[in-house]
Chains A and B, each alone.
Chain A
Amino acid sequence: MLDDFMVRASIAGVGVALIAAPLGCFVVWRRMAYFGEATAHAAMLGIAIALSLEIPIFAGTLVAALLMALTVTQLSGRSLATDTLLGVTAHGGLALGLVVASFLSGVRIDLMAYLFGDILAVTRVDLLLILIGFLAVILLMYWRWSKMLISTLNEELAYSNGINPIREKFFLTISLAITVAVSIKVVGLLLISALLIIPAAASRTFSRTPEEMVIITAIIGVISAISGLQFSYLFNTPPGPSIVCVSLAIFLILSSIRPLRSN
């Protein structure tokens, strides 16, 4: 069954959609949209370094995304606003990564695959990595869920409950880095942010609790992944952007029926 590239692509797409659901919700709740994007962009530097050191791309992106996230967390609130800092590090990391990659002689790099994903070329090893990433993120989320939720609500409230919100933020950062690292193959680093935010934004109006929102986000993500791939197969469009376009369409449809519901 795994011999069929469309089957592998579908499994990868669904897996990434499921990983992105809880993270996407946190990104929306904590207003971290730009943070997610910066983490993803910094992964380009990780890719370039991984290629030059001949270590697995997955490891390179994971480390780069993590370092990026931790650096921003450390530096924010000093002399620059967080969004400025993210702008500097995100695009700095992306540019630096592209320059480093251009020095790599002898290696033929398909930049488009990293920027926009290459889901049809997903291998069994990639699937295994997605599975590991999925298990890691889901376990982390399950373990820290209410602590992360209270920290998201209010830091002092967290402290008074004996929760350290800085530690919870760190766990969230690790989860985000894992998500970025496994998603690059599927949608590419330029569109990871869309994968995180759009399904979560679409599900907001239809959920009453945080948990409901995660479940609805996951459903929208899975539908987007499968139909995006089918669309891409039928009309010969790039698969990563097609997946994002389907979730955009779902977002637009759900947003337009919102006024009906609230009346």
Chain B
Amino acid sequence: MKLLSTNNISVKYGSNVVLRDVSLDINEGEITTIVGPNGSGKTTLVKTIIGAVTPFTGSISLTENLRIGYIPQRLSIDYTLPMTVQRFLNLSHKISKEDCISILRTAGVPDLLKTQMSNLSGGQFQRVLLAGALQGSPQILILDEASQGLDQAGSAAFYKQIESVRNEKGCAVLMISHDLHVVMSASDKVICMNGHICCSGKPEAVANMPEYHGLFGAGTEGTLALYRHIHDHDHDNLRKFKH
């Protein structure tokens, strides 16, 4: 079943077009990963899907009452704001203590209920955010480079967690990632972006497409190529914006 689709959406920041004619479908239970160089509009696409950015053309259709669980790119809880993990999990609506523990267990951090958010380690923090996103039993989880700030092992473990959550809860996953090898092994569908969708499909198929090599360099799936690419790629009419 189709959960959401974007129909030819384009987004402008001021006079700069950052997304052109993006159409995609997200189906139930599917892990879709968006890859692309910095400034390619990945974050803008995700922001448009959750309603934080309005497209100037095109439309987004969501299944009725679609429950979205969102994990932002960078959420820093300021030390000035006191917040226990339990209180954080009750922000959008109240759930019982048992439910809190249960979603924390699903997210892989069952014992943190009373801990202050500002005292969590990077890996714990991302898992608590995951638990927060799971709070309303979402049909789709949306992650914007959620492994940022984690080391290689930490981020691999985090994506493994996401996969096991998908298997346990059956929710769809839409994520942005820079870890190409993780992406290629854990996704059902990969979308390559550079202001528009360059190519998309199953990871094995995408890995052989010329557009993918154009973006990430031939014969590699490492992250080095991604960074090399950033400096030699032409961004003429694309505004580079910070992620």
Interface residues of A, Cβ cutoff 8 Å to B = 28-29, 31, 146, 149-150, 152-157, 159-162, 204, 207-210, 212-213
Complex Cα spacing A146 to B82, Å: 14
Q: Identify the 10 closest CB pairs spanning chains A and B, nearest first.
A: A160-B70, A159-B52, A160-B50, A29-B81, A209-B87, A207-B82, A156-B72, A154-B75, A159-B51, A161-B92
Please tell me if B1 contacts chain A, counting CB pairs below 8 Å.
no
Please tell me if B47 contacts chain A, counting CB pairs below 8 Å.
yes
Given known contacts A149-B91, A153-B75, A153-B91, A160 and B68 CB-to-CB distance under 8 angstroms: yes
- Smallest Cβ distance from B128 to chain A, in angstroms? 12
Given known contacts A204-B80, A209-B82, A210-B82, A156 and B70 CB-to-CB distance under 8 angstroms: yes
Please tell me if B142 contacts chain A, counting CB pairs below 8 Å.
yes
- Smallest Cβ distance from A48 to chain B, in angstroms? 35
Given known contacts A153-B91, A156-B52, A159-B52, A208 and B72 CB-to-CB distance under 8 angstroms: no
Interface contact B82-A212, CB-CB below 8 Å: yes
Interface contact A29-B78, CB-CB below 8 Å: yes
Known: A146-B93, A153-B81, A207-B82. 7 other contacts (CB 8 A): A31-B80, A159-B52, A160-B52, A204-B80, A204-B82, A208-B82, A210-B83
Complex Cα spacing A152 to B69, Å: 18
Given known contacts A149-B91, A159-B52, A160-B142, A154 and B72 CB-to-CB distance under 8 angstroms: yes
Given known contacts A157-B75, A159-B50, A209 and B83 CB-to-CB distance under 8 angstroms: yes
Please tell me if B116 contacts chain A, counting CB pairs below 8 Å.
yes
Chain A contacts for B50, CB-based, 8 A: 156, 159-160
Please tell me if B27 contacts chain A, counting CB pairs below 8 Å.
no
Please tell me if B59 contacts chain A, counting CB pairs below 8 Å.
no
Which residue on A lies nearest to B50, using beta carbons? A160
- Smallest Cβ distance from A170 to chain B, in angstroms? 17
- Smallest Cβ distance from A168 to chain B, in angstroms? 13
Chain A contacts for B77, CB-based, 8 A: 153
Complex Cα spacing A24 to B58, Å: 42
Contact code string B110-143 (vs A, CB < 8 Å = 1, else 0) = 0000101000000000000000000000000010
Which residue on B lies nearest to A205, using beta carbons? B82
Complex Cα spacing A208 to B82, Å: 5
Please tell me if B187 contacts chain A, counting CB pairs below 8 Å.
no
Partner of B91, one of A31, A150, A159, A160: A150
Please tell me if B38 contacts chain A, counting CB pairs below 8 Å.
no
Complex Cα spacing A157 to B132, Å: 10
Please tell me if B84 contacts chain A, counting CB pairs below 8 Å.
yes
Chain A contacts for B116, CB-based, 8 A: 208
Complex Cα spacing A28 to B79, Å: 10
Chain B contacts for A153, CB-based, 8 A: 75, 77, 81, 91
Which residue on B lies nearest to A165, using beta carbons? B52
